[in-house]
Chain A
Amino acid sequence: MSAPAPTVQAAALRKEFGRRAAVSGVDFDLAAGDCLALFGPNGAGKTTLLRLIAGLLKPTAGSALVNGVDVRRERAGRAAVGLISHQSMLYAPLTARENVEFTARLYGLDDPRAAAGAAPESMGVASRADVPVRTLSRGLQQRVSVARVLVHAPSVLLLDEPYSGLDEGGAHALTDLLTTLRASGATLIVVTHNVAEGLALASHAAVMMEGRFARFDRRDGASVDAPRYAAEYRELTSHAS
């Protein structure tokens, strides 16, 4: 039997800003249901890698494909992608419901109003759905941001420090949602500094340093155990600094 077609594929991916290479020759494939936890020190190129896959940046060389297409060129490819960042990407004067409804309309959902009503519930912000986002705390804004992205049920979800600002309840709700999404076949890439949190979800783990993968592991069963991985990660990054 042939291997399943990759959902996310990076080949010799490189991005330079001026003379500096933020991402320098990254290769990996992820299939449906895979989750890559991406670790690395600040400035390692993790966010740039996510932005390349999301189509927000044009690669200097190589390619980043989602479901076999370059999402910078193919609108249909972008429909599959969801991006969560440590910045909320919300409109502060609008309410949570209006922000989610706006996204639902952009993705062509059949009933954007109903979707906007249901999504905040999934992240426990239904009671604050009708107040302007600017009046919400940082953690509640992050919950709304997650609800906004999940409203169109993306099959590829890119998460850049998704837990930042979330309290324990919010983090728990997010982990539950991500676990459910993964079980339903979604492909996830999670950038995080918390090794235990990342490995809890991951089928693959990578450490990025100076724009490259310094380490890439497939977590088959218990082949990568979290405490040992965390210790090795600290060792690897301490040499870098």
Chain B
Amino acid sequence: MPAETPGLFAAAWIVARKDLAIELRTRSAFLSVLVFTLLGLVTFFFAWDPTAASALDLAPGVLWVTFTFAGLLGLHRSFGVEMQDRAMDALLVAPVARESIYLGKAIANTVFVLAVLLVAVPALALFYNLPLLRTLTTLGPVAVLAAVGLVSIGTLFSSMAVNTRLAELLLPMLSLPFFVPIVLASAQASTRLLAGRPFDEAVPWLKILLAFDIVFVLACTVAFPFTIEE
């Protein structure tokens, strides 16, 4: 008999490790999101008129818009893996808090999203001729805050959409209105930091991202058990 069932965060870590092991084994979500992101960056690059807009003005918006759409691809698969052979039933019968399932999925999705950004940001620097080191160091904190926000919302809506017939359509329709403040704040903070403006100018946007992350991680964690109720 079990000595003690895992607590909220221990169970979340067990779920996250399982999801990361599956992604490491298959790489299907990582590769599709990465390829989609790179194709988006390339397409925007060829549509860009350097005489009309500077690279510093355009690049942050291109990155965050492209990445938002690409990220939805990966988030859609997050609960898809639980629905094959109804593995979700086994998770729900297990003696763990249902919130830990959400947190575990969100942790794995955040790692996955940051891994994609780790390749996408240097690619952005390459296409738009930005200084690589400054791009990586300045976009790093923005990327972490943006990833947490996108994932917290996307993971919740993925759990709601996965059982519907139009899941591919429903997930973006539910998520995108909530993604707007993240994309806006991320693009604004990135533009200022990449342009070498004082860090203080980006702080209000970073604070918005941080507040958004805290509110939505908490709200989505609490809401998750209700979304899986049949």
Contacts and interface: CB of A to CB of B under 8 A. Distances in A.
B18 A91 contact: yes
B176 to A, nearest CB: 30
Given A78-B93, A89-B89, A91-B81, A108 B18 contact: no
B51 interface: no
A81 B6 CA distance: 16
- A interface, over-half SS: loop
Nearest to B23: A93
Interface stretch (B94-102, B132-140, B142-150, B156-164): B94-102
Contact of B5 (A82, A91, A108, A148): A108
Interface string B52-86: 00000000000000000000000000000100111
A85 B86 contact: yes
A53 to B, nearest CB: 10
A106 B93 CA distance: 10
Contacts of B18: 91, 94, 102
Contacts of A102: 14, 18
B93 A81 contact: yes
Contact of A79 (B5, B11, B26, B86): B5
A102 B22 CA distance: 12
B94 A90 contact: no
A58 B230 CA distance: 7
A78 B93 CA distance: 6
A61 interface: no
Contacts of A82: 93
A55 B97 CA distance: 13
A91 B14 contact: no
Interface in A96-116: 98, 102-103, 105-110
Given A79-B2, A93-B25, A106-B95, A58 B14 contact: no
A11 interface: no
A64 B145 CA distance: 44
Contact of B21 (A88, A92, A94, A106): A94
B1 interface: yes
Contacts of B90: 83, 89, 103, 148
B223 interface: no
Nearest to A87: B86
B85 A89 contact: yes
B85 A75 contact: no
Nearest to B100: A106
A147 to B, nearest CB: 13
A148 to B, nearest CB: 7
Interface in A24-77: 54-58, 75-77
Interface size band for A = 35 or more
Contacts of A107: 2, 5, 94-95
A6 interface: no
B84 A92 contact: yes
Contacts of A76: 5, 95
A78 B81 CA distance: 23
B166 interface: no
A83 B21 contact: no
Given A75-B97, A78-B94, A106-B95, A90 B87 contact: yes
A162 to B, nearest CB: 14
Contacts of B5: 75-76, 79, 106-108
A132 B3 contact: no
A153 interface: yes
B229 interface: yes
A85 B89 contact: yes
B180 interface: no
B92 interface: yes
A79 B2 CA distance: 8
Contacts of B85: 87-90, 92
B32 to A, nearest CB: 15
Interface in B8-61: 11, 14, 18, 21-22, 25-26
Interface of A: 54-58, 75-79, 81-83, 85, 87-94, 98, 102-103, 105-110, 132, 148, 152-153
Given A75-B96, A75-B97, A148-B90, 11 more contacts: A54-B93, A57-B230, A78-B94, A79-B2, A79-B5, A87-B85, A89-B89, A90-B87, A91-B22, A94-B21, A94-B25
Task: List 4 tightest A-B contacts by C-beta distance, closest first.
Answer: A79-B95, A108-B2, A89-B90, A106-B94
